[in-house]
Amino acid sequence: MGRILKKHNIIENGDPLQMPVEEIWKLTGGSKWPYMGVYSFACNTRTRSERARKVLDYQPSAPGLFECLEEDILAAAAGLSQ
């Protein structure tokens, strides 16, 4: 994300920053679950639709995350500036 924002001159430095967990908790927007911010900002999730492929003969056809990421980030950044 940082690389994309830097590439489009939206931010000056695209390097990731470390944040204390207490600071992340403040960004949860009042979630009743205290760990929401930690999971929102600091987790990695990878999935594959193996079962759907096997049981339902599912074949993904939509673009993947990395194919859409730049467009999505730029759209979100444009929404922040309005």
| Amino acid identity at 34 | P
Domain boundaries, position 29: 2-80
Task: Answer with the residue of higher pLDDT: 60 or 44.
Answer: 60
Give the integer Cα–Cα distance in Å for 20 and 31.
Answer: 18
Structure tokens that stand for 36 in this block: 């929401």
pLDDT in tens, 49-67: 899 999 999 998 999 888 9
CA dihedral 7, 11, 16, 22 (to 10 degrees): -150
Number of structural domains, the chain? 1
What is the predicted pLDDT for the residue at 60?
A: 86
Which of 40, 38, 5, 45 lies closest to 22 in space, CA to CA? Answer: 38
Task: Answer with the residue of higher pLDDT: 79 or 55.
Answer: 55
